[in-house]
């Protein structure tokens, strides 16, 4: 069973709600049991949530590499390529963050 803290939104797995929230410390009474449908959404989205987070991490790495390439200033075409990639990876990162926010809003987190 999944239990959700109504104070902070933390989701906890177990036969019963915890005595207190592991995130915010709210008492057991602040937990609600998720319905089967809500639980299914959370479990089904677990892998895609992880993929979106990994994409964000990779975007951060690419962004740093692009900045390094720009700072080297080897030649204008090279700098232009790094600049464009840096801008494009920012968009990819923002889309992944928006999708995570959508999952949270739909109870799929």
* 13, 61: one domain: no
- Entry pTM: 0.78
Give just the sign of the alpha carbon dihedral 53, 100, 12, 23: positive
- Name the E strands within the chain: 2-5, 11-13, 31-33
pLDDT of residue 108: 87
Domain containing 55: what range? 43-109
Q: Give per-residue pLDDT as tens, 32-65.
A: 999 999 999 999 999 999 999 999 999 999 999 9
60/79 same-domain check: yes
Pair (106, 53) in one structural domain: yes
47 and 5 housed in the same domain: no
- Beta strand pairing call for 31-33 and 11-13: unpaired
SS3 95: helix
Task: Go through 5-15 and write b for each residue having 16 or more CB atoms within 10 A of its CB, e for each that does not.
Answer: beeeebbbeee
């Amino acid at each position: 069973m999944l239990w959700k803290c109504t104070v902070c939104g933390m989701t906890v797995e177990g036969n019963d709600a915890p005595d207190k929230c592991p995130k915010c410390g709210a008492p057991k009474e602040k937990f609600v049991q998720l319905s089967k449908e809500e639980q299914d959404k959370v479990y089904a989205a677990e892998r895609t949530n992880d993929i979106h987070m990994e994409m964000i991490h990779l975007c951060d790495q690419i962004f740093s590499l692009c900045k390094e390439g720009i700072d080297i200033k080897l030649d204008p075409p090279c700098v232009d390529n790094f600049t464009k990639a840096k801008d494009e990876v920012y968009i990819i990162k923002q889309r992944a963050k928006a999708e995570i926010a959508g999952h949270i809003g739909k109870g799929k987190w």
